[in-house]
Amino acid sequence: MTHPLYEVVRMCLFFVPSFFCPLTFFSDAPFRSLDHHGTRFAHRAPLFPHISPTFLGESSLPLSGPQLLVISLFLIHYFHRAIISPLRTPSRSKSHAGILLSGSSFNSFNGTLLGTYLSSDFAHEYLKDAFSHPLFWAGVAVWALGFWYNIVHDEVLLDIRRHAQAKGKAKKGALDAENKDYYTIPHEYLYRWISYPNYLCEWIEWIGWAAVAAPLPAFSSLGTVLSTVHPPWIFVWGELDLMLPRAYRGHVWYHEKFPEYPKDRKVIIPYIY
């Protein structure tokens, strides 16, 4: 992991999402439903190139049992996201080309970085005897909880769309001139308190995953953070930076579209934000 390119990619994935995060709070671009300009693709098509570069980080080194489990948890998420979810998803809004390109780029670099780390001697040593440590399995349990409830809350949104299509509200010819999708307000589970529980659960999932995959960085100064933060935690940081503005813009959009939208519903953290 001492190759200069590794360090360049590591620092880029730490700083670039941090740079764009505050900018995208004021732009509708990350929120697909709000953007009607530029080249667009059928929604299911971008999911495969958007996710598949994540698998570029291959290893020629023998992997231990804990390493294989950590990698498997990561792949399970993206197998569901790239294969299972699109097959079960009703027709949706088209995706902007910029989202496809930026997502593919992020996943290409992220996948290579994570693959390099997870197959490294450091990861092998860090995860040595991990199966015998209760905290390792606690992290796996947190991952599983976040993964499951991410799916549960996504399913609430899919049910809304299926119900709309069954009633003929989302069929071709029943939409307005811009071919907008049918939306309504979700209320089940954590939707009673926040607008984006699926995002929150995905964060919980990845925090649990990073906790079993790598040690926490040292927080005494920015310099020590940069020198000790490993790719799994950089991945979590990038997810927070990229998803938080989308949740905020989506929350604003809900309030603009639905006058009756619950005023006390927060964006992504119950009772807080």
Q: Which of 50, 45, 149, 51 is nearest to 91 (CA)?
A: 45
Instruction: Of 265, 255, 235, give the one whose Cα is nearest residue 54.
Output: 235
| Full residue range of the structural domain in which residue 119 is found | 4-257
Q: Is it the case that residue 270 has pLDDT exceeding 80?
A: yes
- CB under 8 A, 24+ apart: contacts of 250-253: 250/31, 250/33, 250/195, 250/196, 251/195, 251/196, 253/31, 253/33, 253/34
For residues 31-66, b (16+ Cβ closer than 10 Å) or e, as one string? bbebbeeeebeebeebbebbbebbbebeeeeebbeb
Only one residue has tokens 């503005």, namely 245
Instruction: Specify the higher pLDDT residue, 103 or 26.
Output: 26
Structural domain contains residue 270: no
What's the start-to-end Cα distance of the chain, in Å?
38
CB distance 196 to 250 below 8 Å: yes
What is the predicted pLDDT for the residue at 169?
54
Residue 265 placed within a domain:
no
pLDDT above 50: residue 51: no
Q: Angle at the Cα of 222 (from 227 to 240), degrees rounded to 5?
A: 90
pLDDT of res. 261: 95
Output the pLDDT for position 30. Answer: 44
Return the amino acid letter for 249: R
Q: Tell whether the model's pLDDT for residue 214 goes beyond 90.
A: yes
Q: Is residue 263 part of a domain?
A: no
DSSP state of 171: S
The pLDDT value recorded for residue 32 is 44
- How many other CB atoms sit within 10 Å of the CB of residue 142? 18
86 burial level (CB within 10 Å; 0-12, 13-18, 19+): middle
Task: Supply the pTM of this predicted model.
Answer: 0.83
Residue 261 and residue 46 in contact, taking contact as beta carbons nearer than 8 Å: no
Please check the confidence at residue 83 and state whether its pLDDT lies above 80.
Answer: yes
Q: Give the residue-averaged pLDDT of 208-232.
A: 94
Instruction: Please count the structural domains in the chain.
Output: 1
Residue 181 in any domain: the answer is yes
Instruction: Tell me the pLDDT tens digit for each residue of 135-194.
Output: 999 999 999 999 999 999 999 998 888 887 777 654 554 444 344 456 789 999 999 999
Whether 35 shows a pLDDT value over 60: the answer reads no
pLDDT surpasses 80 at 58:
no
Report yes or no on 53 lying in a domain.
yes
* Tokens representing residue 127 in the block: 């995860």
Residue 154 lies in a domain: yes
For residue 267, is it within any domain? no
Q: Is residue 264 part of a domain?
A: no
- Please give the Cα distance from 115 to 110 (Å, whole number): 8
pLDDT of 43 over the 90 cut: no
Rounded Cα distance between 250 and 246, Å, is 6
